[in-house]
Chains A and B, each alone.
Chain A
Amino acid sequence: MTSDGRDPADVLARARRDWSPRAGDAERVRRAVGVALASGAGGSSTAGPPRAPTWTARMLVASAIAAASGGAGYWAGRQAGLRDARPVAPGPDIARRAPAPPPIAPPAERPVPEAQPPLVPPAPVASHRGGHTTRRGGESGTPADSSLTVELRALRNTERALRDGNPGLALAFLEELDRQVPHGQLTEERDAAGTLARCARGDHPFGVNLGDEFVRRYPASVYRARVEQACVTTDPAASGDSPVRRSRE
């Protein structure tokens, strides 16, 4: 007991309780880990200490492949997307006020943090626990693997576009994804990304709050907080004005 009557043990117990995860935390992280592993990031994460020199070599190779494929895919998508998105792309104001958001798809491998999209694991390479490295998706994977890879790549590009303050481009990526993989596995992530992009663009469907709609569809979503944050200003009843206009005032 200290001089002011506070018991250190009580303070510690309270802190411990506050820091303990809630039920939803474990399930949310579990889902994110599952998505990352399904995409092949589990074997090439740089988050942990390398255990042997061979791991370093493998990670360098995986990073190089990831950087090349991610960058090329993003550039190609950006060129295509810019053509579609230009008419609806927001002005500089909305770009500036777009918050730097937490990831849409569960973050995983970030071998080059400044250059890599931090969301979806980019690598088409998966290292197995036994140390063997295999390619996923594309020509060698099953159709499910392949479509998941396409989804992950598109979501990664979408997130990047959102971080760049370009929701029009983000929507273009998502539309392209809808054409390529109409019924994918990452429906919640796609829905979250679309909602975020529309909110960032200032869409105001009459009488509809996009954030509320998303929460209604996914009440326990990992992305709920982020969507609510992004969409709070799109409620026409609450604001009566567009975020773009308000930001210029």
Chain B
Amino acid sequence: MALVLIIEDNPANLALMEYLLKAFGHDVRTATGALAGVERATEMPPDVVLVDLHMPGPDGFEAARLIRAHERTAAVPLVAVTASAMVGDRDMILARGFDGYIGKPITPETFVEQVERFLRPASGDTA
């Protein structure tokens, strides 16, 4: 079981990811904007952060930059959740601070497994 922070502005998508992760026993925190998400991340810090790239105002890239810049969260795995997974996007996403990405729409059957792949052995299974 891990502590997962989800930063996502769309309530339905947020609810889906939260539901799936909780159903598989993970502890979930949520934020609906980049800045609120960064604040929550630095409070905890979480074992992994899922970040929606498309958000009004400061976007997912800005959230990633701020999380990376903070000493408490600098090493936390960051996973982009994005619908814009096109050719070349992968390299761009990795170059901008993320450890990887999960394409939208998510596949419920495999989503949790995909997230768990990003957990660092040392920081997982805190409970």
Do A and B originate from a single complex?
Answer: no
Point out residues on A near B: beta carbons under 8 Å: none
Point out residues on B near A: beta carbons under 8 Å: none
